Amino acid sequence: MKQTFTILLLLFSTGLLFAQNKITFEVKEESGESLIGASVIIEGTTTGTITNNEGFARLENLPNGEIEFVISFVGFEEKEITLSFPDDNNKTIEVELEEGEELEEVVIAATRSSRTIQDIPTRIEAITGEELGEKAAMNSTNIGMLLRETTGVHMQQTSLSSGNMSIRIQGLDGRYTQILKDGMPLYGGFAGGLSIMQIPPLDLKQVELIKGSNSTLYGGGAIAGLVNLVTIRPEEEAKLDVMLNQTSALGTTGNLFYAQKYGKVGLSVYGSANNQIAFDPDEDGFSNMPKAQTFSLNPKFYYYFNPNTELSLGLNTTIDNRTGGDMEVIKGNTSTEHIFSEENKSERYATQLSFRNTTDDRTFSFKNSVSYFDRKLSIPDYRFSGNQLSSFTEAIYNLHKNDNTEWQLGLNHYLEQFTETDADSYSARDYTHNTFGGFIQNTTDFSKKLGLETGLRTDYNADYGTFVLPRFSLLFKPNNKLSSRLGGAMGYKLPTIFTEDAERIYYRDIQPLSKDLVDAETSIGGNFDINYKTALGDEMTFSINQLFFLTQLKNALVLREDETMGMAYFESADGNILSSGFETNIKLTYDDFKLYLNYAFVNTELQYDNINNQKPLTPKHNAGAVLFYEIEEKWSAGYEVYYTGKQFDNLYNQKTDYWTMGIMIMRHWERLSLFVNFENFTKVMQSDFEPLVLPPTNNPTFPDIWAPADGFVFNGGIKLRLSGDND
């Protein structure tokens, strides 16, 4: 009996030995380039590996019989291959993946060139797909958090009472960043820091970010860079999403998005409502988050004349009321000691018209947007109100001379008209900016390894003259692991009184701009980056992007306060602002884990008034790490930690550095996702270091905000996908 058992054991072991097959896959794209980090998985299991630096993936210890392998790579069509063992044992199978729809979704719109992010010479950062959905869940009220977690971007809160927030790219003020929606400027000017607060993220397909001087693309304003918000378009299959969110900071948000194409007609509707109860986490008697009610409704209608011709018309409506300040006043308990509050009431109405006709090698497009923004700002003894009418019109002719060359010629017109409605005749600060421009742009691929994008814009403004703005971007890809971009451009910004410094004093006692004292702000800048990706072993990938940047700003608008005269005025600086530094981004993947590491060194110097100081409220050192775990269509979880270095306030007092941490968890089902987010759970607050409000209570002073004001915030919510696919 013992001998029989031994013989059976030997036979069983021998069978296993002969069943231990192996196979090698060589994965390439259509051009013949090897794909590094492509996944090779046995269908229905989690067993698999990724391709190495040469594009090879090897699997061993495979049993006898038929096995189905799934080969995939981001941006390419998935391929399934069935092999039979032991017949196919120890073979090398060559697999060619075709570019797929996933890659097409990352086509960049900001440069008007129909190219993917990998192939466009201009350096662009895009937030898409799952990453965009996760960040939207972390804050469904506005895009502030979405942008804040981008390397080299700093979200600066400009008011404790209103919660206003400004985006700073590479150390430059928010007014130097141009915010677009589907390629049309809709925000800025009098809207100031309210712009970021009034843009909810649920209807966005992707967010494109171009850093550095780029007024050549869309005209004045993009000295620090531009942000293009690309909305979701209707498809044949209906898409209906509902998101509900509640925070521990007493904020409630509801979002709804619907889109569908019906034959020749398409429709999308986005609605968002937010209610924020005044929140005082440090219990100093003043709100750190204002009482706010915000409502947005954005319907958009599409008509498809034929497969090549399309017309769309949209309307954006936002109504926002917010009151911050003394908590007793907000509650309605006004007294001699409790009188201070800041109230902001605003309404925004904007239209978007777009027409596009495409043939095999030519495209004509026409865009127009008209925006009306009305705002009333009140404190106890002062009121500032006005309305801003803005319009943008653009006509573009796009010619694909061949597969390697693309030309774009365009004309556009900008109008920005501000009318102050609560001012004495001698102090009214009305203005009208009428700007006409024309541009030409060329994108050429000299080879598979070398591409160049060049552009030239000329703008004319009746008050400030002519601006000639050249631009170039060079892309070099020596192999599939390494790529590099070099770019440079010029920019300009027409002066207005709407700056962060003016917002800080509520525009009070600021004199109208004098053409004898101010001129248009101009800039020149450049950047250079290197991107490298590789596979580390069979299950890990590594990529790094190293960026260097430099921007010089001339004629910077400086606010002067004359306390003896009780007035303030603007003048152009007698020197420059120089912003330079570098950004490092690293990504490591292993199985279901992703690790993102980033660091930004931002050295922004004020080189005027016989000083050479670091710009206030601009930390030189910022770093972050995000560890993300995902089981597709089941679980997502992330842990993040961010470091903000020392900085100066506007009185040049140095402030301490600090760390913040957060945790996000999402559980996915077919039509439902639940999420919780613990933001700043270490409870870092500026009031831990110094007061956010200085006495007396009835006439308070608010120091600069340089650290989190709201402390730890927990938010949780639910997202329902009531129709459409489950992506």
Please spell the DSSP secondary structure of 33-98, one letter per residue: PBPTT-EEEETTSS-EEE--TTSEEEEEEEPSEEEEEEEE-TTB--EEEEEEETTTTTEEEEEEEP
- Tokens coding 583: 């950004």
**How far is the C-alpha of 449 from the C-alpha of 479, rounded, in Å?**
7
**CA-CA distance, 168 to 579, in Å (whole number)?**
12
Report residues of the chain scoring pLDDT below 50.
Answer: 1-2, 4-18, 101-105, 726-727
- Answer yes or no: are the C-beta atoms of 189 and 373 closer than 8 Å: yes
- Secondary structure class of 6 (helix, strand, coil): helix
Q: So what's the pLDDT on residue 425? A: 52
- 483-501 confidence digits (pLDDT tens): 999 999 999 999 999 998 9
Residue from 583, 582, 598, 548 nearest 149 by CA:
598
Intra-chain end-to-end CA distance of the chain, in Å: 59
CB atoms under 10 Å from CB of 659, counted, come to: 12
To which residue do tokens 């009184």 refer?
A: 497
In contact, 36 and 533? CB cutoff 8 Å? yes
Please tell me the predicted confidence (pLDDT) of residue 424: 61
Tokens representing residue 79 in the block:
């391929």
Tokens read off for 641: 């930690």
**d(C-alpha 349, C-alpha 482), whole Å:** 46
C-alpha radius of gyration, the chain, whole number: 28
83 forms beta bridges with 67
**SS3 state at 443:** strand
Confirm if 267 and 234 have CB atoms less than 8 A apart.
Answer: yes
* pLDDT confidence of residue 106: 62
